[in-house]
Chains A and B, each alone.
Chain A
């Protein structure tokens, strides 16, 4: 009865483990620092998009303000380290917790909004956050914060001379985000979230606590994104409001999921693997004067996706889809004959 389902879940887990193992060996063959950099970014954006997907994909509350949590994660780590000497590992946790709390505090009024109104609220709130950090002198204001780097150290999580530790951390982060999604997918929360997305009124009538479902999704999502932000701060050593809280980061979290398949387990990672290398490569090949070309690529991909496959690319990989295509082909086959006659 539910063996097919359990089998699919197990297969997902095995595929993910195999992919992660393969990914872990890639740096053994790829020594080019530039390519390694792209791999780090791909994994990081995959993880971020996977986290965004929990609130926006599964629970259906589209946020275009997740840059706020990304920035809070980055700033918490950087500030705690530079001002108080707190190790980034604790900053990472602290940033995650603060972001989760803020997400719930903001969710309290905002989750009463629906659809586009909610999206607009998230954009505006993230912009307010950006402005606050722009004017907050203690946090470096517009000048930003530089994280002093003094040689490789796992304790301080900084590696000026190598990309490899970042790569492995990003891989772990991506795996954690994936695994959390996988685990939540077959839990009460996972079902509640999808029910809330599809029809909140019906969900309510079936005993679903709609409001708290959204709050839970927001907290998990914001926590993971903030951890990603912390990682990013350690990765680039220098943060300012624009470079961690700009609107483009909110978009960059949404796009891989939308491209790969929003509200699906594999969509965000698939989207990131396609999107991030393309944009990084176009950015570097077109060069400084071509700034913006990567954004044109984004725009083009999104338009193409919404025209051709609004459900995302991941559907192309399902066997059901193949069967359906065959069915369609069979349906149309006799009609064509008639026309020919």
Chain B
């Protein structure tokens, strides 16, 4: 196997006395879809923020594409090829859908015509083409999630971080969401996704990493992970693990 696209080495994050991530070392290979799962408060979102560069880790290093990016701010990591979505959608509400996506496209070009063309392509790809000229504030929730993905894709990332893009959608919406994620991977983008809805995530991901209490609990093939007693304990408590 070649060098992984993303690697965290012994990453710690403390908020005062609270340890959100302790000694987390994970790696994501090129072209993979990796699911990051775990019960509430496991430290998934914190790890995401550390990878995206929202805050620097208390300790540890983050290697992206062979380079140490630990000290880089979010905007520069985006330029290096890390795109992300937010769990609580953060659309540019007073701007149209297409303008939202153009902001992302401007990372790769400063020629407005090219940025606009690229943004239209990405919108089509994400199935938002017909909504291009609508204000972002007028979108329904599932469309806003798509816009988040479109905006991040417009930055032409090598790694896309998806923070609960499938949560809170209707089954039909979630299904088209899954298709979109597959399409994204097929276009050559590596995907690391945080997700709660197990029955949707497990068939989708190539590999799952389970976080619990800030630590990596288990990682492996989705089918093995769901049967792992430690994972069942983390989610459901000891009684069920014994039963398994």
Contact = CB atoms under 8 A, between A and B. Distances in A.
B20 to A, nearest CB: 18
Nearest to B120: A1
A203 interface: yes
Given A206-B155, A210-B75, A263 B94 contact: yes
Contacts, number: 84
Contacts of A152: none
A191 B99 contact: yes
Interface stretch (B102-110, B184-192, B201-209): B102-110
B152 A198 contact: no
A197 interface: yes
Contacts of A205: 52, 54, 74-75, 78, 83-84, 86, 152
B185 to A, nearest CB: 20
Interface string B72-102: 0111101100011010001111110001001
B30 interface: no
8 contacts: A1-B120, A2-B116, A191-B103, A201-B86, A205-B74, A206-B152, A207-B76, A210-B75
Given A188-B112, A202-B90, 18 more contacts: A1-B117, A191-B103, A195-B95, A198-B92, A202-B86, A203-B92, A204-B54, A204-B75, A204-B78, A205-B52, A205-B54, A205-B75, A205-B86, A205-B152, A206-B75, A206-B78, A206-B151, A207-B155
A5 B79 contact: no
B113 interface: yes
A201 B117 CA distance: 25
Interface in A125-165: none
A150 to B, nearest CB: 49
Contacts of A25: none
A192 interface: yes
Given A1-B120, A2-B117, A2-B120, A209 B92 contact: no
A187 interface: yes
- Sorting the interface of chain B by its residue count into under 10, 10 to 19, 20 to 34 or 35 or more gives 20 to 34
Contacts of B83: 205-206
A140 to B, nearest CB: 44
Contacts of A191: 99, 102-103, 106
In the A-B complex, list the 3 residue pairs whose CB atoms are closest, starting with the nearest: A207-B107, A207-B78, A202-B90
B113 A207 contact: no
A195 B75 contact: no
Interface string A191-222: 11011011101111111111000000000000
A131 B43 CA distance: 52
Tell me the interface secondary structure of chain A in the complex.
helix
Given A205-B52, A208-B103, A197 B94 contact: yes
Nearest to B151: A206
Interface residues of A, number: 24
A202 B100 CA distance: 10
Contacts of B54: 201, 204-205
Contacts of B110: 188
A12 interface: no
Given A2-B113, A209-B75, A210-B75, A203 B103 contact: yes
Contacts of B93: 198-199
Which has the most chain B C-beta neighbours within 10 Å: A187, A195, A205?
A: A205
Interface in A170-206: 186-188, 191-192, 194-195, 197-199, 201-206
B106 A188 contact: yes
Contacts of A209: 75
A5 B107 CA distance: 21
Residue picked from A186, A199, A210, most chain B C-beta under 10 Å: A199
B122 to A, nearest CB: 12
Interface in B178-203: none
A194 B100 CA distance: 9
Contacts of A263: 94
B94 A204 contact: no
A29 B78 CA distance: 58
A195 B86 contact: no
A271 B79 CA distance: 40
A266 to B, nearest CB: 16
A2 B123 CA distance: 13
A188 B164 CA distance: 30
A197 B154 CA distance: 20
Nearest to A200: B90
